[in-house]
Structure 1
């Protein structure tokens, strides 16, 4: 509930309300991945911890409370400071989240046995996204039924309640023993993932893929709100369709994962994600909502599987004692390209403002989607697909 009401179309809408343009929105969407570079050093530092649980709770709490506090910006600062202060607080929140994320991934991989991991995360993510769908509808209804200032104030009250409840529930996690790395120096520990050639080849390819994907996918909400002028309620309904598709896919990918390797299934998600971008080109001759619904169904199925399988890949296909560094190295490498993607995409949208409307509405998305499909069927097939 917390993440749904603060992220996705609501994050884009709040940034537009604060006065941000496409390049700033691209920057904000990219910040969450750039800070993942710090996870390499975090993975080294946590080797010295006696308890993963309480350090995780500390940084999870910082993330939740800092991100929630962005709702106070219009009440405290003059309007010209709204966007700069948001960026500072938002960045601080996701630096804390980078620490909490490494600790959570390390702890949850020990909590969930490998033999049921694929199915467990499929069921878990299905339940979470079912609740997320309800909150998307509720949030869209609140924003469309009230002036923006009032609507966002109501949202942030709900967000604060959920943030506090979320922090409390983490206190019930068990504090399992921690199997530490066989290395106690930073550089030798960092070299471990680089010595695993299959892991590094897959990671570098997925970094390239995420560069292309994040050039357009995170800006879908910007295009719908600011270029196509679709209201919040409609965007919420489209996001609900995406979430329902994602929920169904979690169950399917989870069951397939019991029989087929993470890497092979990852390859199968790539053409689906590319297709979600390519179908925007159908706006040239098909109804707007029909095309956007098809795009969101494909995006839900593809990105849902991709995120679930990447997580299983980093915690399941890596040595247990070195897992925090493998997770951190993947996050750092893909974090750089996922940071550059929205930045490049935001700048491209600024440049193409002088071009015909169709280029902004669907041209960029369909061209990038075509490039993604070619990359998936060539490099992706060679690197990820296993016989």
Structure 2
């Protein structure tokens, strides 16, 4: 079927504008703002680990997308409005009795992420039809870079606002604006063209068939192991900066701005490199940086010793500028077009399962109250597990080359 005039380039541009609004919701509802809000509410390390891993843990609901019928655009927009709007309930948490506040915040955040999870499959499948494979790396590299910069400027503004208004009013205002921005993004989403696609619920045999694909099965192993390793220590990075290194929210916003500014340059370059050498190789290089470079830089920082933490902002862009693009694109390249949703569903389930196990381990290690802070031990364990995951990925790449 011939696409309308000006497509798919028009929708590709709209997807960047839509993402610029959506990233404000994502960053302010899951990142430093929500972490700081939870700390103000009195969240212990176990609760921080769960809160930080919820966006990934919620992806266990992603396979529900396989059983929905109808337009991917309409389904994505409707689920996004409902899931993002639900977070308005977080504004009323301070009115509750103190013992209920943190559990209620976790419940609201978990329900929001579960509702949004199927959008990962629906939207990615839709965008794969809009962006040709030959330019997919550079397009998503550019989009991720732009979104990273916009999201980080938003973090800087949010941090300054929280410092200016104080707690909890700064948190509450930022979360309200996040929800409004997320809902506004769905109006732009509806303006995009949707190529026709067949959508039939799979049988049990068809559902498990991607696991017979040896290379994809090996990739799922890496996704679960690496994202699990990230979840062990990742939720404790911002608490480490805020409570151990004594950074202000304005400084934390500036840190994310540096990371995003570098990512704006590096993400498109990683995308172009991936189009040439392959997403597997980019994933191996960037995950190696995320494993061997970033955690030591975080851990070396402390009160009055922020030099390595600022350096880690640049390293963060080097690592995640490539990882964010390569992770999904390896899954897309692995899938036959008619089975794309199935492969994506398994990818998000591996993503979620690893995150659940990793957050449980991270929460346990954080509860041990090791010195010099409760956050050092889980971050150290995360580094070791990341290195294991990178070694496994290198072995899988060599194995894939040696076997047809």
TM-score for the superposition, normalised by structure 2: 0.86
Where structure 1 has 5 or more consecutive residues not aligned to the other structure, the ranges are none
Q: CA deviation at 1:223?
A: 1.5
Counterparts of 1:119-268 in structure 2, within 5 Å, are: 119-180=138-199, 185-268=202-285
Hey, what does 1:356 align to over in structure 2? 371
Q: Deviations over 1:311-347 (max 9, x none)?
A: 1112233111111110111111221111221231122
Native 8 Å contact 1:202 1:384 kept in 2: no
Paired with 1:287 and 1:151, the residues of 2 have a C-alpha distance of 26
Native 8 Å contact 2:60 2:353 kept in 1: yes
Following TM superposition, where does structure 1 have runs of at least 4 consecutive aligned residues deviating by more than 6 angstroms?
none
Paired with 1:146 and 1:261, the residues of 2 have a C-alpha distance of 47
Within the candidate set 33, 52, 60, 1:10 is matched to 33
Hey, what does 1:53 align to over in structure 2? 73
Distance change in 2, residues 1:78/1:363 (3 Å): closer
Deviation larger for 361-370 or 251-260: 361-370
Q: CA deviation at 1:249?
A: 2.2
**2:294 matched to 1:276?**
yes
Deviation larger for 189-198 or 80-89: 80-89
Counterparts of 1:337-376 in structure 2, within 5 Å, are: 337-351=354-368, 353=369, 355-357=370-372, 360=374, 362=376, 364-366=378-380, 368-373=382-387, 375-376=389-390
> 2:223 is paired with a residue of what secondary structure?
helix
Q: Deviations over 1:222-249 (max 9, x none)?
A: 1222333322111111122222232222
Native 8 Å contact 2:232 2:381 kept in 1: no
Distance change in 2, residues 1:302/1:34 (3 Å): same
Q: CA deviation at 1:180?
A: 4.2
Deviation larger for 319-328 or 188-197: 188-197
Paired with 1:364 and 1:91, the residues of 2 have a C-alpha distance of 22
Native 8 Å contact 1:118 1:257 kept in 2: yes
Q: Deviations over 1:81-124 (max 9, x none)?
A: 22222222211111111122211111111111112111111111
Distance change in 2, residues 1:356/1:171 (3 Å): closer
Q: Deviations over 1:328-385 (max 9, x none)?
A: 111112211112212311221220x2x431x646465345424533542x32211135
> 1:372 is paired with a residue of what secondary structure?
helix
Native 8 Å contact 1:2 1:159 kept in 2: yes
> 1:175 is paired with a residue of what secondary structure?
coil
TM-score for the superposition, normalised by structure 1: 0.90
Q: Deviations over 1:163-216 (max 9, x none)?
A: 2311211221223211346xx543112222111110111111221122222211
Within the candidate set 131, 140, 143, 1:112 is matched to 131
Paired with 1:356 and 1:73, the residues of 2 have a C-alpha distance of 31
Hey, what does 1:28 align to over in structure 2? 51
Within the candidate set 377, 381, 387, 2:394 is matched to 381
Paired with 1:212 and 1:185, the residues of 2 have a C-alpha distance of 31
Hey, what does 1:71 align to over in structure 2? 91
Where structure 2 has 5 or more consecutive residues not aligned to the other structure, the ranges are 1-23
Paired with 1:129 and 1:197, the residues of 2 have a C-alpha distance of 34
Hey, what does 1:311 align to over in structure 2? 328
Deviation larger for 239-248 or 104-113: 239-248
Native 8 Å contact 2:362 2:378 kept in 1: no
Hey, what does 2:352 align to over in structure 1? 335
Native 8 Å contact 1:40 1:332 kept in 2: yes
Count of residues paired in the alignment: 376
Paired with 1:333 and 1:40, the residues of 2 have a C-alpha distance of 11
